C-alpha cells in the first residue's frame, strides 16, 4: 500500500498508509497505546485508535482526517468557540485519565518519555496545542501525538494550553496575537470552559511550564543534541525566555482576571 509522508511536526518519520498513520516508536510507545485504548474505551473518539505496531516496528494509529493547526493559524481557528472547544476536550481527557480511577495504578507510573510530576492527578497529554489538534470546517475534531503523555497535575497541561491556545506570548513572538487585555480575557474564557475551580496555583505553574521549555532546549544543547541546537539557532530559546519575562511581568494581572469570581461549578 502506498505511503504518504506527513510533514509539519517534530517527528521525522510519520506516514499515512490508507486509513492508518505509522510513526517511529520509542520505549514509551506501549504506554501511549494503552492510554489511547483507555481514552477510547471511555468514550473519547477524538483520539487516534491504537492499532499496535507494524512489521517495521512503527506505531500504528487510526488516521483522523482533517487539518492540523500549524502556524500560522487561519482566522477560523482563532475564535472563542475553538478556544472553548479545546478547553472542554482537555477536561474530558483529564477526567477520563484520572490517576485515582485507573485500573492497576502502579502500571501507569513508569514507562513514559516525559518525567512523572507531582501531584499525580491525571495522565497529562504533555503537548496540548493547536499543532497537535485536528480541525474540520473550523471545528476541533481530534487531538494527536501523545508521545509526551505522563502522570502529573492538571495545571501542567492547562498552563501549556493557555500558552499556545490563548496564546499568552510577548508581542514579538511570531505566534502572538491580541493585546494584553485580550489575552487575559481569553485565558479566563479557557479556564471557565474547562471548569477549573481552584486557580490559585496556575500563575506559578505557568512560570514553571514556560521555564521548562527553555530548560529542555538548554539541556539538550549541553549534551550535543542536534535538534535542540538547531532549535536554539532558529531562535526558539530566545522566544521562550522573552515569553517567560512577559509572563512574569504581567502575571499579577493575569492572576487577577483568572481568579476573579472563581471557576464555573
Q: Where are the alpha helices (DSSP H) in 53-179?
A: 80-96, 154-165
Q: Are residues 74 and 177 in the same domain?
A: yes
Domain holding 176: CATH number?
A: 1.10.510.10
Indicate if the pLDDT at residue 240 is higher than 60: yes
Q: How confident is the model at residue 262 (pLDDT cuts 50, 70, 90)?
A: very low
The model carries a pTM of 0.95
Question: Is residue 53 one of the residues assigned to a domain?
Answer: yes
Q: Are residues 72 and 180 in the same domain?
A: yes
Q: Are residues 54 and 159 in the same domain?
A: no
Number of domains in the chain: 2
List, for residues 80-129, the tens digit of each pLDDT value.
999 999 999 999 999 999 998 887 678 889 999 999 999 999 999 999 99
Question: Is residue 265 one of the residues assigned to a domain?
Answer: no
Of 146, 128, 176, 115, the residue nearest 11 (C-alpha): 146
**Cell triple for residue 167?**
496564546
Q: Are residues 94 and 220 in the same domain?
A: yes
Q: Are residues 159 and 39 in the same domain?
A: no
Q: Where are the alpha helices (DSSP H) in the chain?
A: 29-41, 80-96, 154-165, 180-194, 202-222, 226-233, 236-259
Residues 212, 157: Cα–Cα separation, whole Å: 13
Q: What is the mean pLDDT of residues 76-81?
A: 98
Residue 137 is part of which domain span?
67-259
List, for residues 194-225, the tens digit of each pLDDT value.
999 999 999 999 999 999 999 999 999 999 99
Q: What was the pLDDT predicted at 263?
A: 37
Indicate if the pLDDT at residue 264 is higher than 70: no
Q: Are residues 27 and 150 in the same domain?
A: no
Q: Are residues 175 and 48 in the same domain?
A: no
Q: Are residues 56 and 74 in the same domain?
A: no
Amino acid at each position: 500500500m502506498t505511503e504518504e509522508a506527513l510533514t509539519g511536526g517534530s517527528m521525522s518519520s510519520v506516514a499515512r498508509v490508507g486509513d492508518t498513520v505509522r510513526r517511529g516508536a520509542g520505549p514509551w510507545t506501549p504506554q501511549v497505546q494503552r492510554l489511547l485504548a483507555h481514552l477510547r474505551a471511555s468514550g473519547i473518539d477524538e483520539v487516534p485508535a491504537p492499532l499496535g505496531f507494524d512489521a517495521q516496528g512503527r506505531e500504528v494509529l487510526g488516521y483522523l482526517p482533517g487539518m492540523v493547526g500549524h502556524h500560522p493559524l487561519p482566522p477560523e481557528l482563532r475564535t472563542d468557540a475553538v478556544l472553548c472547544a479545546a478547553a472542554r476536550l482537555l477536561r474530558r481527557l483529564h477526567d477520563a485519565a484520572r490517576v485515582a480511577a485507573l485500573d492497576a495504578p502502579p502500571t501507569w507510573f513508569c514507562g513514559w518519555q516525559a518525567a512523572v510530576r507531582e501531584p499525580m492527578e491525571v495522565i497529562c497529554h504533555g503537548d496540548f496545542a493547536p499543532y497537535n489538534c485536528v480541525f474540520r470546517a473550523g471545528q476541533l475534531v481530534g487531538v494527536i501525538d501523545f508521545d509526551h503523555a505522563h502522570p502529573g497535575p492538571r495545571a501542567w497541561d492547562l498552563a501549556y494550553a493557555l500558552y499556545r491556545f490563548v496564546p499568552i506570548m510577548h508581542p514579538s513572538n511570531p505566534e502572538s496575537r491580541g493585546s494584553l487585555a485580550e489575552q487575559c480575557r481569553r485565558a479566563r474564557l479557557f479556564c471557565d470552559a474547562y471548569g477549573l475551580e481552584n486557580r490559585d496555583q496556575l500563575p506559578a505553574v505557568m512560570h514553571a511550564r514556560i521555564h521548562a521549555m527553555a530548560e529542555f532546549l538548554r539541556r539538550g544543547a549541553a549534551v550535543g543534541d542536534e535538534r535542540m541546537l538547531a532549535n536554539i539557532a532558529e531562535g526558539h530559546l530566545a522566544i521562550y525566555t522573552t515569553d517567560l519575562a512577559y509572563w512574569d511581568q504581567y502575571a499579577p494581572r493575569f492572576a487577577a482576571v483568572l481568579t476573579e469570581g472563581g471557576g464555573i461549578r
